[in-house]
Structure 1
Amino acid sequence: MSSRASLGEIKSPKASGDAIEADVIQSIDALRYVGDGTATWHDAETTGLLEASTSLPFYGIVVVEPETPIEIKACQVRTSNGSRSTRGRFYVKRRAHQQLVDAAGMYLFAIYVPRPGLPNQARALVPATLVDELLKERWYDVDGERSEQSVAKLAWSHVIDPATVDLSRGDRRVE
C-alpha cells in the first residue's frame, strides 16, 4: 500500500478515498488489502473472523467469516450542493456492486471530515445485499468514456443513523 496517499497529504477526492481505505485496512487486524491487479470490485478481504465493535458496528449481520470480500466506501460528512451543503454521498458503480452482491461481500462505509488527518466520524459494515435494496431506484447512466456505465449515489444517512455519528471530531453540525 505504499503507493496509497497518506492521511497528511490529501490532494483530491480519489486520494482521500485511497487514504481512508489504507487507514481502515491498517486499523482492522482481520482485513487484508486486495489490489486492483487481483480484483477491481473490492478493496480488502477478511483474514479471520471479524466481529462488530463500538468503532465498527455491523448492520444486518453478527460476524463476518474469513475470505469475505470488502468494498470500502468513504464520503465527507458534508459536501457542497450549490450554494449550500448537504450530507456526503457514497458513489457506487453498478458492475462492481453486482460482483460484490454475487460474492456475498460487504461494504465498509466510512464518513470523514475533509481536513488534515481525515478524521473518521463513523464507520459501518453492511452486507452488499442490504445495500442493494437501498440502491434500488437510485441507479443512473453516465455518459462519456468511463469505465462504468451505471452508478448510484447514497447519502450516508441512509446507511448510518445520524444520531450515532461522532460530531465532536467534526467542525460542523450535521442536520
Structure 2
Amino acid sequence: MSAARASSKHAGETAEAAVLERVPELEYVQDTENEHVDARVADVLVARSDVPTVALPVLEVGTLVEIKSVMVVYGENQARGRYYLREQQHRHLLEHGAVYLFAVCVPAPSRDVIAVKIVPATIVDELVSSWIDAGERPDYAQLSWSRIFDPAEVDRDGGERP
C-alpha cells in the first residue's frame, strides 16, 4: 500500500471513529464480518438535527451502514472534498437495502466531523452518472460533498466556505 493510500485510510478510520462516537445508535462492524460496510444500526435511529437523513425518518435495527468521509476542502485550490465510491461495494449496499453515512470533516490531521447525513444507497445510485474504469483496480465514482449537502449545512456547522 502506498504512503498516500495508507494516510488516506488512517484519516478515514479517524473520521469513522468520530462518526461512531457522534451516532451512538450505530455499532462498528469488523471487516472480517462484512467487508462492504463499516457499521450497522444497533438501536433504532430516528433522524435528528445533528444526524439528518434523506427519505428515511427512522432506520431499523440491523440496517447496514457504509461511512464515507471527506475533508471540507483539499489541495492548493481548496476544492471541495470528493467521496470515493467503489462500484462493487455500492452494488452490495443496494442489494442489502443499506445506507451511506456521509461525513464532511475539518482538513487533516484532526478530521473532526463538521456535518453528517444518512442517504439510502438507492438515492446515491441516482447521483452516480457513470463508473470510472480503473483498469486493474475496482471501478469507482466520485461525488463532491456538495452533491449530498447544501453548502449552508456545512457552513452552519462551522465548516470553511470553499
| Aligned residue number for residue 169 of structure 1 | 158
Q: Aligned with 2:78: secondary structure?
A: strand
TM-score by length of 1: 0.83
For the 8 Å contact 2:71–2:111, the answer to whether it is kept is no
| Aligned residue number for residue 153 of structure 1 | 142
| Aligned residue number for residue 37 of structure 2 | 42
Measured against aligned partners, the alpha-carbon deviations of 1:22-60 in whole angstroms (never above 9, x if no partner) come to: 121133221111111011110000012101111111111
Q: Which amino acid aligns with 1:47?
A: A
| Aligned residue number for residue 139 of structure 1 | 131
Moved over 6 A (4+): none
Q: Which runs of 5+ in 1 are unaligned?
A: 1-10
For the 8 Å contact 1:119–1:169, the answer to whether it is kept is no
TM-score by length of 2: 0.90
Q: Distance in 2 between matches of 1:168 and 1:105?
A: 26
| Aligned residue number for residue 109 of structure 1 | 102
| Structure number with higher relative contact order (C-alpha < 8 Å, ≥ 6 residues apart) | 2
Q: Which amino acid aligns with 1:108?
A: L
- Aligned pair 1:92/2:85, yes or no? yes
Q: Which amino acid aligns with 1:98?
A: R
The count of corresponding residues between Structure 1 and Structure 2 is: 157
For the 8 Å contact 2:15–2:112, the answer to whether it is kept is no
Q: Which runs of 5+ in 2 are unaligned?
A: 1-5
Residue 163 (structure 1) shift: 1.2
2:115 to 98, 122, 126: 122
Distance of aligned partners of 1:51 and 1:86 in 2 relative to their CA distance in 1, 3 Å threshold: same
Measured against aligned partners, the alpha-carbon deviations of 1:116-146 in whole angstroms (never above 9, x if no partner) come to: 43222211000000001001x23111123x3
Q: Distance in 2 between matches of 1:72 and 1:173?
A: 23
Residue 158 (structure 1) shift: 0.4
2:14 to 11, 19, 25: 19
For the 8 Å contact 1:113–1:119, the answer to whether it is kept is yes
For the 8 Å contact 1:122–1:166, the answer to whether it is kept is no
Distance of aligned partners of 1:86 and 1:116 in 2 relative to their CA distance in 1, 3 Å threshold: closer
Report the structure, 1 or 2, having the larger helix content: 2
